[in-house]
Amino acid sequence: MAVHNADIAAIFEEMADLLEIQNENPFRIRAYRNAARQVEGMGVALADLVAKDEDLTELPGIGNDLAAKIQEIVTTGKCKALEKLRKQLPSSVTELLKVPGLGPKRVRTLYDQLKVKTTSQLARAAKAGKIRELEGFGAKTEQTILDALTARTTEPRRFKLAVAAQYAEPLREYLAKTSGVKQVELAGSYRRCRETVGDLDILVTARESGKVMDRFTGYDEVAKVMSKGETRSTVILKSGLQVDLRVVDPECYGAALHYFTGSKAHNVVIRRLGQQKQLKINEYGVFKGALRVAGETEESVFRSVGLPWIPPELREERGEIEAARAGKLPTLIEPKDLRGDLHVHTKATDGHNTLREMAEAARVQGFEYLAITEHSRRLTVAHGLDVKQLRRQMEDIDALNASLKGITVLKGIEVDILEDGALDLPDDVLGELDLVVGAVHSQFKLSRAKQTRRILKAMDHPHFTILAHPSGRLIDQREPYDVDMLKVIRHARARGCFLELNAHPERLDLLDSHCQLAKEEGVRIAISSDAHSVQDFDNLQYGVGQARRGWLEKDDVLNTCPLKELRALLKKTM
């Protein structure tokens, strides 16, 4: 069975959880967590590197011990160190850490005193009022746990888009190699580039559906076959991801692709428009009475109701129908439009590659420029730079630019926005930079008024250029802080500064709706990788997908500008 980066990351996360519950060495725990985060977001498959017998220790954050474990996991599908930890504590205990209000110490207390090993046992203990009796808990914590468990049972599991891609793309390639298959397309929320995916919908056209179904259900990553038919089958992969496969006739392929891409709200409107023209639109085609009049392509479906083709990312019933009818659909940004990256880290702080290595990797991407934006001194966990260290790096950038060809390295900083809205470094050094990226890294629980005031004050700083990851959210890990985003966007417009769309798969921050709002207010967005290694530039594709969902065009994005134009725009904020 193929082992994906997400599988390796899941093993490292579980090991970190079990070690944390046992109160083990925090540095060891952090090493596993950092490795999990790095591995999950890598654009290159570790299994391919193992197959080529490449040195894994050259990868960021991977030493000899972790490299050996990765090779073991890829080769055997297992990790002996994890199995040893599971013997000390049941693996199900780590699920308790995902319940809000429960940290490692509380999970250990629940396990030791109430023998709670699973979320179902936790629910029973909470309903019986046993948790409030434990030291360090109380009635309020008990109710929080109950509420969280109720939400978990009603909300289906979703996979981050980049994780889903690790399973979706190899499966697409596998099915495309089936004899007689002509077309294979991933539909659903995956095609619409939603930040999380509940399941995968795959459409296939083929001469013989039986061969496709046999090959699909025989895929070595299938854990369970839920159903198998002549034209439709459903499986659950070992990762837990559900996949629905449909084999459709070529003459209705476009109608099926439109129908299964969704969203439901978008499809309802299209069907309603069809009804106004006495047409019936479904996954089998567009019909006038019993006669199929369209459906071979998506374009024909839209044309049947008087509309141009609408990009999948826009199909959320958020004004795309009206825009299409008025001939005002945006020409959405594409990955090739990006000319550079404006948020990148190196070994000088918490990155994993040198200044030159990051620059050369950016040049391979076809970039014209790259901004190095290390953390500032306040973020000690990331070895943030003080004034002296920053000036030394500025000298290094000057020396590198003197020897580089084909790319220009810009001097920047990711400076902490302090609780009172001040910036973490003094004006004199900030004024020497090409750009200043401001970021909130602490005090996420401030009130809406205080958090908004804090950010607006920071943006008023004469050297402030870009607001990094503006909501502070981490998908499935941390909720966005409470901030008035409309005020922030309008203040950016008034100040002439910019907002970032952080492309890291765990962030995808700005939200798509905020991207659309920024566009409407005339505020440009910087699509940035927040790269900490040369592999992280690949994540820009997810940032572009999010930007497309937010209706952004090439001219709405700061780093589509050529260098000369970019410099002029940056100077206006300084």
335-573 CATH pick, 3.20.20.140, 3.30.70.20, 3.90.120.10, 3.40.1380.10: 3.20.20.140
Per-domain residue ranges of the chain: 5-154, 159-247, 252-325, 335-573
Q: Are 475 and 195 in contact (CB under 8 A)?
A: yes
Q: What is the pLDDT of residues 383-425, one digit of tens each?
A: 899 999 999 999 999 999 999 999 999 999 999 999 999 999 9
Those residues with Cβ within 8 angstroms of residue 30's Cβ, 6 or more apart along the chain or in another chain: 16
Tell me the pLDDT of the chain averaged across its residues: 93
Q: What is the pLDDT of residues 245-262, one digit of tens each?
A: 999 999 999 999 999 999
Superfamily of structural domain 159-247? Beta Polymerase, domain 2 (3.30.460.10)
Q: What is the pLDDT of residues 433-449, one digit of tens each?
A: 999 999 999 999 999 99
Cα–Cα distance, 466 to 463 (Å, whole number): 10
pLDDT for the residue 345? 96
Q: Are 459 and 493 in contact (CB under 8 A)?
A: no
Q: Is 1.10.150.110 the CATH number for 5-154?
A: yes
154 pLDDT band (50/70/90 cuts)?
Answer: low
pLDDT for the residue 378? 87
1 pLDDT band (50/70/90 cuts)?
Answer: low
pLDDT for the residue 468? 98
pLDDT for the residue 574? 63
Q: Are 15 and 66 in contact (CB under 8 A)?
A: no
pLDDT for the residue 40? 86
CA atoms within 13 A on the CB side of 120: 1
The whole model's pTM is what?
Answer: 0.87
Asked if residue 144 has pLDDT above 70, the reply is yes
Residue range 233-255: average pLDDT?
Answer: 95
Residue range 182-206: average pLDDT?
Answer: 96
Residue range 32-48: average pLDDT?
Answer: 86
Residue range 50-65: average pLDDT?
Answer: 88
Question: 278: left (phi > 0), else alpha (psi -120 to 50), else beta?
Answer: left
Asked if residue 92 has pLDDT above 90, the reply is no
Asked if residue 100 has pLDDT above 90, the reply is no
43 pLDDT band (50/70/90 cuts)?
Answer: confident
Q: What is the pLDDT of residues 307-319, one digit of tens each?
A: 999 999 999 999 9
Higher pLDDT, 150 or 510: 510
pLDDT for the residue 328? 97
Poorest-pLDDT segment among 8-22, 168-182, 303-317: 8-22
In 3D space, the residue among 257, 430, 413, 248 whose CA is nearest the CA of residue 344 turns out to be: 413
135 pLDDT band (50/70/90 cuts)?
Answer: confident
**In the structure encoding, which two tokens stand for residue 410, read together?**
């810009």
561 pLDDT band (50/70/90 cuts)?
Answer: very high
Residue range 234-250: average pLDDT?
Answer: 95
Q: Are 342 and 412 in contact (CB under 8 A)?
A: yes
pLDDT for the residue 498? 98
563 pLDDT band (50/70/90 cuts)?
Answer: very high
CATH class of 252-325: alpha beta
pLDDT for the residue 59? 82
- How many percent of the chain have pLDDT more than 90? 78
Q: Are 467 and 492 in contact (CB under 8 A)?
A: yes
Cis upstream peptide for 263 (omega within 30°): yes
Asked if residue 227 has pLDDT above 70, the reply is yes
Which of 33-42, 123-132, 248-257 reaches the highest mean pLDDT? 248-257
**In the structure encoding, which two tokens stand for residue 491, read together?**
């203040």
Cα–Cα distance, 189 to 266 (Å, whole number): 12
Please tell me whether residue 413 adopts helix, strand or coil conformation.
strand
165 pLDDT band (50/70/90 cuts)?
Answer: very high
**In the structure encoding, which two tokens stand for residue 19, read together?**
């070690």
In 3D space, the residue among 33, 41, 13, 10 whose CA is nearest the CA of residue 530 turns out to be: 41
How many CB atoms lie under 10 A from the CB of residue 270? 22
Asked if residue 453 has pLDDT above 80, the reply is yes
Q: Are 530 and 540 in contact (CB under 8 A)?
A: no
Element (DSSP H or E) covering residue 206 = strand 199-206
Cα–Cα distance, 513 to 262 (Å, whole number): 18
DSSP string, 314-364: GTTTSSHHHHHHTT----B--GGG--EEEEE--TTTT-SS-HHHHHHHHHH
pLDDT for the residue 151? 73
Rounded to the nearest 5 degrees, what angle is found at the Cα of 504, between the Cα atoms of 41 and 517?
155
